[in-house]
Amino acid sequence: MIVHDPLGGATSGLFCALTTLSSLLEEEGAVDVYQVARMTNLMRPGVFNDIVRAQYQYLCRAVLSLVSSQDQRALQSPETADLYHWGRPA
């Protein structure tokens, strides 16, 4: 996949970092947001200007949203419905 950002790379860097975080979360069930942002910046120097606080916070909020949506899907799936009662493990 080719990602292009006419404004210098910050938006494409966020997209690439989010894609990586989403894949890792799905595969491993856990992620290190800082390390993914750091590695993205190392692979493409200057994508994040020393990982700007707002960009890092955006990545953290996006991962929390992904985790929340995965939790909701798990609670609604028929396979786990018998394991939970009112949102708590049986």
Q: What is the mean pLDDT of residues 40-56?
A: 76
Please, are residues 40 and 16 in contact by the beta-carbon 8 Å criterion? yes
To 10 degrees, the CA torsion angle through 59, 61, 66, 67?
120
* Domain extents in the chain: 10-84
Q: Grade residue 56 by pLDDT with cuts at 50, 70 and 90.
A: confident
* Of 90 and 79, the one with more pLDDT: 79
